[in-house]
Amino acid sequence: MEKKYGLIGATVSHSFSKSYFDEKFFREGLRDYHYDLYSLPTIDDLKKLLAETPELEGLNVTIPYKEQVVKFLSEIDTEAKKIGAVNVIKIKNGKLKGFNTDSAAFFETLQKWFPRTEQSKALILGTGGSAKAVQQALKKLSIPYETVSREKGKADHTYEDLDQDGKIIAGVQLIINTTPLGMSPNTNTCPPINYELLTTDHYVYDLIYNPARTLFLQKAEMRGAHFKNGLEMLHVQAEKSWEIWNN
Ligand SMILES: NC(=O)c1ccc[n+]([C@@H]2O[C@H](COP(=O)([O-])OP(=O)(O)OC[C@H]3O[C@@H](n4cnc5c(N)ncnc54)[C@H](OP(=O)(O)O)[C@@H]3O)[C@@H](O)[C@H]2O)c1
């Protein structure tokens, strides 16, 4: 029997999720399984998609709907509720249950790569759905963090604060980009921070994986900082999504 899965987001053409699942289904001989990209102009278009595609058994959720999608769920997993963002939906008998696998995927990939010490501190750029997942992972790893937003009052700092006080960047070892700045096709942009402040002691993690080396990571590399893109996180969260859909 045909089984359908997919990704919903405002623009999904940048995503590697379809190729990841297409290859997985081919490799594992799952001939009746399909994964499609669904670009939804608004989150309210989800109702129409569900009505038109009754074979759907699971969805991934991407920018900018990880928080907005919560209102469509019949149930939400405890961890996703705590985070306040959902990137996986399991569909059963027309009912939607939300989960978050971004947080565990970030946790796992960060733990392997970042040499945490008692003094480690982090700075998170952006305050959206994936920023919330990153915050939860950092709490679990006992890494204190501060957040940065374009808007005053929404986070610990604005980008103007970072410009005025170089100690904010100098005082952290880990900087995580959770904004879409630099993501394909807008590859010539990057978060507006002073890259001159980066040193060989900084670890710079970009959740973006397309392109593999964003302008943010290129600038970090030029300063000799350690850097990592979001590809491994994408793969880990995809496998965790698969476990949820097939549990
Ligand atoms: N590798 C992976 O597995 C993985 C997983 C999750 C997400 N991601 C990537 O992470 C990025 C964010 O995804 P998301 O779902 O968290 O999106 P989101 O919910 O829309 O949040 C993005 C946040 O970035 C900030 N932002 C948006 N536009 C900006 C701009 N023009 N300039 C500066 N800041 C801006 C906003 O924070 P403020 O309004 O506070 O500034 C916003 O809340 C996407 O590129 C996505 O592909 C990758």
SS3 at position 62: coil
pLDDT of residue 93: 92
26 Cα: distance to centroid of ligand 1 (angstroms): 31
DSSP string spanning 2-23? -EEEEEEES--TT--HHHHHHH
Phi, psi of 219 (to 5 degrees): -70, -35
Six-digit token pair at 6?
Answer: 């997919």
Q: What is the mean pLDDT of each run of 10 residues along the chain (247 residues)?
A: 95 93 97 97 97 96 97 97 97 96 98 96 97 98 98 98 98 98 97 98 97 98 98 97 94
Strands 3-9 and 145-149, bridge-based pairing: unpaired
Judge if the beta carbon of residue 101 lies within 6 A of ligand 1: no
Neighbours of 36 (CB within 10 A): 17
**What is the pLDDT at residue 174?**
98
As a whole number of angstroms, the distance between CA 13 and CA 189 comes to: 18
Instruction: Decide whether any atom of ligand 1 lies within 6 Å of the 234 Cβ.
Output: yes
- Can you give the pLDDT at residue 14? 85
pLDDT (0 to 100) of residue 216:
98
d(CA 62, CA 88): 9
End-to-end C-alpha distance for the chain, whole angstroms:
18
Q: What is the C-alpha separation between 157 and 200, in angstroms, rounded?
A: 24
Catalytic positions, written as ranges: 66
Q: Distance between CA atoms of 102 and 106, rounded to whole angstroms? A: 6
pLDDT at residue 247 in the model: 81
Within 10 A of 226 (CB to CB), how many other CB atoms are there?
A: 17
C-alpha 103/C-alpha 243 separation (Å) is 15
The reply to whether ligand 1 has any atom less than 6 angstroms from the CB of 236 is no
What CA–CA distance (Å, rounded) separates 144 from 21?
35
Q: Check if 136 has its Cβ closer than 6 Å to any atom of ligand 1.
A: no
Ligand 1: atom nearest CA of 230 is 1
**What pLDDT is recorded for position 91?**
97
**Best probe residue, ligand 1, of 61, 68, 178 (max atoms within 8 Å of C-beta):** 178
Tokens representing 1 are 């029997």
Largest CA distance in the chain: 60
What tokens appear for 27 in the block? 């490799």
Model pLDDT, residue 12 = 95
Compute, in angstroms, the gap from residue 241 CA to the centroid of ligand 1. Answer: 20
Residue 9 tokens read as 């987001």
The CA distance from 216 to 188, in Å, is 9
Q: In Å, how far are 17, 115, 200, 218, 225 from 197, measured between CA atoms? A: 34, 20, 10, 14, 10
Q: For residue 126, which phi and psi values (nearest 5 degrees)? A: 105, 155
Query: What ligand 1 atom has the least distance to the C-alpha of 63?
Result: 15
Write the residue with the smallest CA distance to atom 44 of ligand 1. 180
* pLDDT for position 1: 81
Q: Is 183 in the pocket of ligand 1 (CB under 6 A)?
A: yes
The residue among 121, 191, 182 whose CA lies nearest residue 149 is 191
